[in-house]
């Protein structure tokens, strides 16, 4: 696999120079998953970012982690991610716990993993790379917050036509 061409297609690496992409390629680990394999678990430390190369990944919330919940509620897939998308980018900004689980949705799912420590080190070595990367991550997270806000508004304010 040509890692640099894969990295070039990832939104959070937009406008990085060839030398930056080369440095990123040097710290990537390839990981293969089968359908339903857990990639990351909700409420565990966030210390890696993942790039989907092949297959799809379901982002899943487990209502049982809330304590009091509808006992019949099953874990819920909130979004399916595709090749070129990332997961775990919040952990680059905040070392908090993961807000959701991720599971391989298809056989032969291939991801690239980059540790937070490696990425931070690369950003410290090249402030230009760090600035571009953090700007892109901020943009990506802003998009996701806006989308979540829209979904929340729809749930709060949607009225059934029969109520009319």
Q: What is the pLDDT along the chain (164 residues), one digit of tens a residue?
A: 689 999 999 999 999 999 999 999 999 999 999 999 999 999 898 899 999 999 999 999 988 776 655 666 788 898 999 999 999 988 878 878 898 999 999 999 999 999 999 999 999 999 999 999 999 999 988 988 898 888 888 888 877 666 55
For residue 148, give the 3-state DSSP assignment: helix
What pLDDT score does 62 carry? Answer: 86
Give how far the C-alpha of residue 83 lies from the chain's centroid of Cα atoms, to the nearest Å.
11
What pLDDT score does 123 carry? Answer: 95
CATH architecture of 3-158: Sandwich (2.60)
Can you name the residues that pair with 32 across neighbouring β-strands? 110
| Nearest one of 39, 136, 37, 144 to 92, comparing CA atoms | 136
Q: Cα(154)–Cα(8) distance, rounded to whole angstroms?
A: 35
What pLDDT score does 67 carry? Answer: 64
- What residues have CB less than 8 Å from 119, skipping those under 6 apart? 24, 27, 49, 92, 133
Question: pTM of the prediction?
Answer: 0.85
- Domain-by-domain residue ranges, the chain? 3-158
């Amino acid at each position: 696999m040509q890692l640099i061409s894969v990295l070039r297609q990832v939104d959070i690496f937009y406008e990085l120079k060839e030398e930056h992409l080369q440095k990123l390629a040097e710290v990537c680990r390839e990981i293969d998953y089968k359908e339903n394999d857990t990639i990351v678990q909700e409420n565990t430390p966030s210390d890696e970012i993942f790039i989907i190369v092949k297959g799809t990944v379901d982002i899943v919330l487990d209502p049982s982690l809330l304590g009091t919940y509808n006992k019949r509620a099953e874990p819920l897939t909130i979004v399916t991610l595709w090749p070129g998308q990332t997961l775990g980018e919040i952990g680059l900004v905040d070392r908090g716990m993961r807000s959701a689980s991720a599971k391989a949705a298809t056989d032969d799912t291939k991801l690239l993993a980059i540790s937070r420590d490696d990425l931070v080190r690369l950003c410290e070595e090249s402030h230009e790379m760090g600035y571009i990367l953090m700007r892109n991550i901020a943009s990506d997270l802003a998009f996701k917050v806006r989308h979540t806000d829209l979904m929340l508004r729809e749930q709060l304010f949607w009225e059934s036509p029969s109520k009319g």
